[in-house]
Each structure stands twice: as structure tokens, then as C-alpha cells.
Amino acid sequence: MAVAICKYLKSSVLVVVLAILSGSMPVPAQATGSFGDWGDDHVGKSTPDYVTGDECLFCHREKVGNVWGKNLHNRSMRNVLGVSPTFKALLEAAGVSEIASESTYILGRRDELRFLKPNGKYGQFSIHSTRLTAKEGGGFEKVNAGAAHWDEDAFANSCIGCHTTSIDLEYKSFEAPSLDCMVCHGDVPQGHQNEPAQALFAKKARNSVLVEMSICGQCHLRGGKSKSSGLPYPNSFVGGDNLFKDLEVDFSEERIAGMNIADRHVYRNVKDVIVSGLNEMVCTTCHDVHGESSRRHRVLKRIERDSYCMICHSDKSDYTKVYSYEVHNDVCDY
């Protein structure tokens, strides 16, 4: 077994080195020790000027523009005017047509839906206390916690960190609903068409794996808390920052073991990379964000850490078998 592992490690090192030299994968970074020691953050600083994704799509209209409209990152908030007649019928059947008519955006997709509307303050929305929970067999069930009302603070205090773009924490306001290009690609300089690698995640960019874990972790490490604000999302995070200078995350084995498998596989992967320095697998190893596909993970070669695969897959001899699970999260209140 020891000989086999040594051979695997030698071949892995060669593959990684060749990939780095060709610019085709993130640059491994030593991540042992304190994972808050590298890089910088924007806590207490002004965030970069917000450049809308519409400007990006002028050049990226063919490969990105034709899929971005349906991408879940772009639909983390959905305009009520854009929902289908079928969806409107589901809302009517659930008895929330009146609330929906007052709303401008819907939060959520399959498991739970909430309703949003501007509250009169710049870049701020109110969220309605009524929620729709998915019913077994289809449709939604209306759930009320107490008297139905519009809450002016809940969305800003819990949700905007992962459902909006370019947040001003002083006012708890945002520049754009949903997640726009700069959330993942960072503050991309004007004129970068002459040097595409300036954009994080560009094909020619050599991103540190720590940068990638920070960008994805800003939303997908649900349960973290800002050290500076106490809110459940990072303070003024910009792609390229060290997320963990501000976001406090419990990576204890006890905490990870108690999670549903969707959250557990995220926490396990991030911990392996930023704490243990295991860099052979990162988020984009499996996930194609623009293509919204996890096809890559179905063609992965077996790795020595197949215990990671067994977080979701229940049978080593048949990887088509996966555990069933339900997703509940205190931060997202469902």
C-alpha cells in the first residue's frame, strides 16, 4: 500500500507541475498553519467601483451570454416579472398571489421561496415573513411564522452577502440583485482584454487554490460569521481577498460530521485545501460554473482520498449509488 501511495504521489506531482507550467490549473499554495496569514482583505476599506455584468457580456456574449440568463448564480434573486405562467399558477395554488403581486423579486428555487420588495431605502429590500415550502409530489405549502408582515432588516442582516453584488456594509445596501461577474472574477481592470489573465478564473489566470477556496467559500461555507460585523457573511469581500481574515468558520470534525452531505462536502474540501494543504481537488475540479454542470466529477480518475467521494457516494463498487439527504440551514432559515 505504501509503495502504491508513493507512486501515486510522484505521478501526481509531475501532473501538477506540468499543469501549472501550462497555465491550465490553479497554482497550489502551502496552506498549512494559520490560514488567515496570506493575502489581504477589504474590511474597513472602500470596495471597488461596481462594473455591471452587461459591460462584460459585450465581449463575452457568445460563450457566457447565451447561458448566463439561466445560471443559478444569476438567479439567486428572480424578478417576479420573469416567472413563467406555470410558476404563477403554483403561487396562486399556494395562496400567495397577493403577496407575489406586491413583490418585485423571489428568493429561492426548489426547497423554499421567499418574497422581496424595495423598502424605500437605496439598495435595500424588505422580505415577507410568509414562506413557501416544497411539498412532496410537487407544488408549495404556505407557512407563516406569526403574523404576516414585511421585515425591513432580515434580508440585509442575513441574505445580501450571498444574493446580491457590491455590498456597502455601512448602509447594508447593495448595487445589484443576484450575483454578477465581479463576485467571482474580482475587480477586473479596464483594458484587460490585452491581458486576460488579470481576471480571476480566466483560462490563462494562475489562481492560487487559496483564492479559489475564498471566492467559492464566501457563500458556500454556510454557517461562517464575520469577525468584524458579526453577520453571517464576510465584510466587504472582493475576489482575490483572503476570506478567512474576516470570516470565522468552524472546521472541527464534530461540526463537519453533523452536516448534511451537501454542506459537508464543501467544508471537507475547503478544510483539506486551506488547512491541510491537499491541493489535488478544488471546487472547479468538479464544477463548471458557467456551464452549470458537474460533468467533470463524473469522469474523475480515482484519487487516494476516496473517503472524500464517500461523503455522497454510498458504495465504492457502484458510484451510481448516493445517499439521500435533506438540506436545512440555520443561516438561510429553512
- Report pLDDT for 21: 38
For the ranges 76-90, 117-131, 299-313, which has the lowest average pLDDT?
299-313
pLDDT of residue 11: 40
- For residue 305, the model assigns a pLDDT of 59
Sorted by sequence, the CB contacts under 8 Å of residue 46 that are 6+ apart come out as none
pTM for the model: 0.85
User: For residue 15, what pLDDT is reported?
Assistant: 37
Of 68, 40, 64, 75, the residue nearest 238 (C-alpha): 40
**pLDDT of residue 304 exceeding 90:** no
pLDDT > 70: percent of the chain: 88
118 sits in which H/E element: strand 112-118
CA distances from 83 to 66, 68, 72, 183 (A): 19, 16, 14, 24
Q: Which of 113, 112, 332 is nearest to 224 (CA)?
A: 332
The pLDDT value recorded for residue 41 is 93
1-38 pLDDT tens trace = 443 434 333 344 333 333 433 344 444 444 333 577 89
